[in-house]
Structure 1
Amino acid sequence: MTKTPTFRRRLVQAATALCALGAALPALAQQPWPSKPIRMVVGFPPGGTTDVMARVVAVPLQKALGQTVIIDNKPGASGNLAVSEVGKAPADGYTLMVAPISVQTANPSLFKPALNPERDLQPVVSMGHTQLYLVVRKDLPVKSAAELVQLAKASPGKLTYGSGGPGTQMHLVGELFKQQAGMDAVHVPYRGAAPALQDLLAGQIDYYFDPASGFSHIREGRARLLAVTGTRRSPFFPDAPTLAEAGIKGVELGNWFGLFAPAATPAEVVARLSREVAKAVALPEVKQRFAELGVEPVAQDSATFHKTVADETKLLSALIKERRIAID
């Protein structure tokens, strides 16, 4: 009986040690991020600008992180399928999305029932930016954006402009242009930018806002560039004025592309991704490949990119409401 207190004491000590070990196991099991492959979801088909940008950045990113970066194309519903999948994924930094920011800024106002990417996703870092290029068919009798507006006002509803489809950035910028210029023109939607460009070249539509896909046709004179969106001139066509310089203010909207993550992704993971992507888009080989797409590499950190998203959301939600743009 004299040994019982000692035995009990040792038993308590052993139990305490086991409890401490059990509490420590999760921390011991948790490995530093990243410890397995990372999946970057792209909500558009292979070969498009978003897909190519994701694949170009993935190469230096996986070298920097020491893990494979897998591109997973989930096209459909203007990127909404990808938004839904990534928004519901574990917020552990292993499921990300590369997308134009329209998936957060325009889609919630365009699609019913409305998505809530602002709640489910967070901007991590921007990767690049494209201006949109006001291009007219070569035989349209105008030589400036101001002359195009005058022609439209002289014959309301007679001019036609194309886009890559309802709710695309091409469409929304076209409506913003009409709103700010106080003119009217008929929207002709296509299933993508390529057929819109082909019909412009064939003279079937009068103008459109090119998303940097018609550069060769502009340079070879098969289409005429009048002006560009944005706050400064395009590095690809420095002689073309901005719309503001042409006297039409308030049409600065371009197209941002960036990396997004589930909303609760740890801050340290977001910060690491932001730094590594910024390094990647600064590489000469990445800059060169982006330039071939008409994209300027611009790496806004998470806070700055979040403000860009918020500002554009405010602008587009008001535009969509005012112009009564809807997609069933």
Structure 2
Amino acid sequence: MKKFWLTLLALLGVVVIGLFGAGMYFYHVAVVPGPKNFISNQSALKPSDPLYQQKKWFRDAKKRHWYETTADGLKLDADYIPAAHKTNKTAVIAHGFMSRKEEMGAYAAMFHQLGYNVLLPDNRGHGASQGNVIGFGWLDRRDYLQWAREVVQKNGHNSEIVMFGISMGAAGMVMASGEQQLPQIKAYAVDSPYTSVEDEITYEAKQQYNLPKYPLVPITSLVTKVRAGYSFGEASAVKQVKQNHKPIYFVTGTGDTFVPHYMTKKLYQAAHSPKEMWLVPGAAHVMSFSKEPVAYQQHIKQFLAKYVQ
């Protein structure tokens, strides 16, 4: 009998060690910054790109560097481009997972054409900003609000600020919307946000590795809580948007297989503030602007015109 229990304990130990090792592996895949084989960031300018002119404008535009230091001591980097004509309108533009501010040039050009100053931060752990972990929007939500405070400090208390993001940046902006708001923040606009980090990690585990949620997602979440300071479950855009009182615009593509459009629909349904949603037929992940560049800008313009003067 003693031998049986010893064998059982040994087997349990092997299982626990194996699960912990798997959790550490997926923590590094998902939460540690670095190249990811399941995403590709293509920065090269191609004349065939429907957004070529916008991206070229951003590449050539003269930029100012802004910096902020987070509450936990990280130095974050951003590019600022003033509007062609002096204005109190500024758009804070957030990029996606393992992307960087330079890849948000088309959106910067869109807001610039709409008469806005534009501020494009690099998220913590991305681009020129410091950080050893990916915040998945949850750690970034307060950074975005701090950037908004920086806009007010530099551009004046009469600033009118729009908070915009795509993918992870969109989820982070939705998460930010549930925090205490500056009066200068007039509206949010988000493209392809996920409902929570837990939902997105669970979805990708199935898509990329054909793995169920249990037990690896909770174990990886525990590792993330210990090493990065947050769990997947607490990082919920759904819970945050329920606390939001600012107008919010949602857009997503029905052909999105990275952050499925049902997540955006769930967020829209959970929001209680003034809201609108546009589902772009057939558009893949954050490709709605490329698929419908004229309509995309017009939708954003019409929504924001109700709240930003």
TM-score band by shorter chain is: 0.3 to 0.5
TM-score using structure 2 length = 0.33
Considering only CA atoms, is the larger Rg found in Structure 1 or Structure 2?
Answer: 1
| Greater relative contact order structure (CA < 8 Å, 6+ sep) | 1
